[in-house]
Homo-oligomer: A and B are copies of this chain.
Amino acid sequence: MGVSKEKAAENRQAIVAAAACLFRERGVDGVGLVELMKEAGFTQGGFYNHFKSKQALVDEVIASAMSDAKADLPQGLDEPASASGTALMRQLAYYLSTQHRDDIEHGCPVAGFSGDVARLGADAQSLYAGGLEDMFGAIAAMMSAAPPPSDDLPPLTGRERAIGRYCEMLGALVLSRAVAQASPALSQEVLKSAHKDLLAS
């Protein structure tokens, strides 16, 4: 009750951070503002001092999570090919780890919000699409330029291959999360098989 502007800005960030975790874990619709504000350390009424609506918070959460995820990606500028290949292998191992699967709160937001984004507002969807574009670019930059062995089919561009690889990574993560509780063995098998398959490609 009576708080400096600096502290208020910190508190606003705490709300965004709490929402980024809770929304990914239980879905945007599954988290109410009372619980959200409590998790951030406040009572419900203060929410509207910081955000116009819940939807406005959702937009900011998507933007923030996508921006953070982009910052975590390797820069990929002018690295020697072998180093960027190693970076890709490291990314793969992390992305398809049980640790990443079980930490949806802080994991890749493209995967974490993939189930919700189609039902969110237009702004959130645009921000999400921008984040997806960044992921494709980062994977393409990390991939060695070697084209796959094409028998008689049209050759794939680097970007097409990058998109294919990322779809497999994301699909494996999403599916391993979907069955993690009901069938831990299948969940593990999905991660492991996709990992092996991606390393071979």
Contacts and interface: CB of A to CB of B under 8 A. Distances in A.
A178 interface: yes
Interface string A103-146: 00000001001111111001001101100110000000000000
Interface string A157-175: 0011101111111111011
Contacts of A180: 118
Interface string A182-198: 11001001100110111
A46 interface: no
Contact of A167 (B116, B186, B190): B190
A150 B201 CA distance: 9
A45 interface: no
A178 B114 contact: yes
A196 B156 contact: yes
Contacts of A122: 181-182
24 contacts: A26-B119, A27-B115, A30-B119, A113-B178, A114-B174, A122-B181, A125-B182, A125-B183, A128-B179, A129-B182, A149-B149, A154-B196, A156-B200, A159-B193, A160-B197, A163-B189, A163-B190, A164-B193, A164-B194, A167-B168, A167-B171, A167-B172, A171-B172, A174-B174
